[in-house]
Amino acid sequence: MSDITFFGETTFRNRRRRFGIKADDRRRHFYVIGKTGMGKTAMMENMAIQDIRNGKGIAFIDPHGEAAEKILNFIPASRINDVVYFNPGDLDFPIAFNVMESVGKKYRHLVVSGLMGVFKKIFGPEVWSARMEYILNYAILALLEYPGSTLLGINRILADPNYRKKVLEKVTDSTVKSFWVNEFAKYSQKYETEATAAIQNKVGQFISDPLIRNFIGQVKASINFREIMDTKKILIANLSKGRIGEENSSLSGALLITKLQLAAMSRVEIPEEERNDFYLYVDEFQNFATESFAIILSEARKYRLDLILGHQYINQMDETVRDAVFGNVGTLVVFRVGAEDAEFLEKEFSPYFLATDIVNLKKYSIYVKLMINGLSSKPFSAETLPPLPALEQSSVEKIIAVSRERYGNPREAVEKRITDWTESITLSGVAQPAGANQSAGAFPARMSSPQSSILYDAKCSACGKDTKLIFPPDGKRPVYCKVCLKKMEKERMEKLAPAPTPVLARVIAPTTAPVPVPTPAPAPVISSPNEPVKLEQISFSSSKKYEKKEYDKPKRKEINLGELKKLLHDSLGKLNEGKPSSTEATEGNQDNEGFKKL
């Protein structure tokens, strides 16, 4: 009967009967959906505990932590040595986990795809862009060919030209090398800053957290996922959001699933009948469901990686993952769900159960479409089994101690190795002459690397006072304290400041025509640190409201009619001296009469 994993019971003619699923049918995967508090996690716990007691290999990924801790209480003494307790919240003994370690050439695209899916999901659509994906893709591909790489190297390859050069020396993929040599190196400083800032910012948020940095920053992984699967070990992942944070939990779980996928696919080298079934339980799996998860659902069966997935509602999955779930899952278990999900699931259960039936299910009651001998059964109703009885004697403390000893590393040793690595970033950034890689627009390496916790004693070359440095002094280059650095910077800025503009006196030259010109405002006075500004200059150079003067508009000259008459009379008199004709005289008299009237 160990070939069957029980998870429910039915009532027929007042007789209750347990039922379960066969091992071969579990290879088509097992999907559970229902509202919170309906009994999903309890059912998955029962199935996992049965697998453990039956000597099977499992991995249980729990984003809440409670189920993971509970399962530890049910592990028999005979299987204590099989347990790998993965707990990022254990700060004293972080487990070494390097998703980039020893990845074969034919599997590199899977690692890149998995990491891309992780970062895309965590970054969010409002931040993620095609340019980010393009650059990050080549960064990961380059690091996968460089021995000793970790996720900490992503920011370093973008920021440190010396490290980038070392990595490219090991890169054999011509396309990857061409990107860094012929494209990235020709970016302007401004463009590179814009292109890489978002990547460094988001990746830096994770690697700056000691909790995450200490387990993803170790070069040599202490967990062999292929060995765990082949030898039927028990991997319990406590990814409690309350302890490590939601984003850290999602990142850790997605990385674990990626490594399990790679380990499963590497089994292609052994005959299928020799591959042991390994059961992967993922509670609230939408937290880790990247686009690459669809590949696992469609291909994991032939590698004997059997999935048991549970979550609360369908819209938690994106369209790609949703289609993969309902297109590949063999067994479907439904607890009470909301109206929208019930309408969607009605297609799977009609005409036996309608949407109104699904939304009215009682606690621990389920509707099931069970895979039986490779064929899907008709939908039927059932109830989940009660929790299994606990062991008389718990071995939780011993399990954690053994797992720490075998797979964990002391925190001090881990941080020392990571600090040595990050210091090399700082030193390469300090030694880099100005503009040495400005063609590539590299950031100073210190901007994106985690801060070193070690400070070095030194004496200021200017004042002789004791100071602290983040790099060891070499005795050749001068070092300065903060006070002297500020003073030197101030002096440098003073030298760069332009000379003050003198206030010139403006004289308005007299003109024959009384056409006054508005006086322009005086030039502003630029203060200099070396010459104090006088109060008169300040008041003179300050902006004043323009006031209109009387002379701004030229006065119109008054007409003297008497002088005008005299001028006209004299002019006509000169004309009459020429003895004009009678007609002319008459006209002249008429003109004179006209002027007299004036």
Q: If you count DSSP H runs as helices and E runs as strands, how many of each does the chain have, helices first?
A: 23, 15
Q: How many residues does the chain have?
A: 598
Cis status, amide bond into 351, omega within 30 of 0? yes
- Whether 418 shows a pLDDT value over 70: the answer reads yes
Maximum mean pLDDT: which of 210-214, 303-307, 536-540: 303-307
- 536-556 pLDDT, tens digit per residue, is 444 444 444 444 444 455 556
pLDDT at 180: 94
Q: For residue range 119-139, what is the model confidence (pLDDT) as tens digits? A: 887 777 777 888 888 999 999
> CB neighbours of 562 closer than 8 A, spacing ≥ 6?
none
The overall average pLDDT reported for the chain is 80
504 confidence band (pLDDT: 50, 70, 90): very low
Confidence (pTM): 0.69
Residue of 264, 226, 256, 247 whose CA lies nearest to 99: 256
Query: Could you give the CA distance from residue 357 to residue 361 in angstroms, rounded to a whole number?
Result: 6
Helical (H) or strand (E) element with 84: strand 83-86
In angstroms, the CA 206 to CA 277 distance is 34
Query: Once rounded to an integer, what is the mean pLDDT over residues 208-226?
Result: 88
pLDDT digits (tens, 9 = 90+) for 82-120: 999 999 988 899 998 888 888 888 888 888 888 888 888
Cβ neighbours for 17, distance < 8 A, ≥ 6 positions apart: 9, 10
CB 208 within 8 A of CB 241: no
Confidence of residue 436 (pLDDT cuts 50, 70, 90): very low
Q: What is the pLDDT of residue 211?
A: 86
Q: How much is the pLDDT for 110? A: 82
DSSP character at residue 179: I
* pLDDT mean over 147-173: 91
Better-predicted residue by pLDDT, 218 or 490: 218
> Span 405-414, mean pLDDT?
90
Give the residues across from 281 on adjacent strands.
Answer: 60, 308
| Poorest-pLDDT segment among 62-66, 207-211, 442-446 | 442-446
Q: DSSP characters for 367-432?
A: EEE-EETTEEPPPEEEEEPPPPPPPSS--HHHHHHHHHHHHB--HHHHHHHHHHHHHHHHHHHHHS
Residues 6+ apart with CB under 8 A from 133: 116, 120
CB hemisphere CA count around 269 (13 angstroms): 5
Q: Two tokens at 446? A: 């210190």
Q: Please give the backbone phi and psi of residue 595, each rounded to the nearest 5 degrees, phi first.
A: -70, -30
Helix (H) or strand (E) holding 59: strand 57-62
* Strands of 234-238's sheet in order across: 15-22, 4-12, 380-384, 365-369, 331-334, 30-33, 305-311, 278-283, 57-62, 234-238, 83-86
H-helix or E-strand spanning residue 238: strand 234-238
Q: Name, of 334-343, 384-393, 417-426, 503-512, the range with top average pLDDT.
A: 334-343
pLDDT at 505 over 60: no
2-41, pLDDT tens digit by residue? Answer: 689 999 999 877 788 999 999 999 999 999 999 999 999 9
Provide the pLDDT confidence category of residue 237 given band limits of 50, 70 and 90: very high
d(CA 352, CA 253): 37
Helix (H) or strand (E) holding 283, with range, is strand 278-283
Helix (H, G, I), strand (E, B), or coil: what is residue 15?
strand
Tens-place pLDDT, residues 178-205:
999 999 999 888 888 888 888 888 888 8
Question: What pLDDT does 471 receive?
Answer: 62
* Percentage of the chain lying above the pLDDT 70 cut: 77
What is the SS3 assignment for 282? strand
- Select from 82, 25, 84 the least CA-distant residue to 54: 82
pLDDT at residue 108, as a whole number: 87
Q: Check residue 577 and give its pLDDT.
A: 60
The neighbour count for residue 226, using CB atoms within 10 Å, is 14
Task: Express each pLDDT in 356-382 by its tens digit.
Answer: 999 999 999 999 999 999 899 999 999
Q: Which helix (H) or strand (E) holds 332?
A: strand 331-334
Using CA of residue 297, residue 300, residue 302, residue 308, what is the dihedral sign? Answer: negative
**pLDDT of the residue at 288:** 85
CA atoms within 13 A on the CB side of 228: 26
Distances (CA, A) of 398 to 71, 80, 388, 570: 14, 8, 22, 136
The pLDDT value recorded for residue 425 is 54
What pLDDT is recorded for position 119? 83
Give the largest CA-CA distance in the chain: 155
Which one has a higher pLDDT value, 447 or 592?
592
Is residue 176 left, alpha or beta, with left meaning phi > 0 and alpha meaning psi from -120 to 50?
A: alpha
- Dihedral sign from CA coordinates of 109, 113, 115, 119: positive
CB 512 within 8 A of CB 498: no
| Terminal C-alpha separation, the chain | 139
Span 317-357, pLDDT tens digits = 888 889 989 988 999 999 999 999 999 999 999 999 999 99
263-296 tens-digit pLDDT = 898 888 888 888 999 999 999 988 888 777 788 8
Beta strands in 441-549 (DSSP E): 456-459, 466-469
CA atoms within 13 A on the CB side of 442: 26
Q: Is the dihedral of CA 95, 100, 105, 107 positive or negative?
A: positive
Return the number of other C-beta atoms located less than 10 Å from residue 571's C-beta: 9
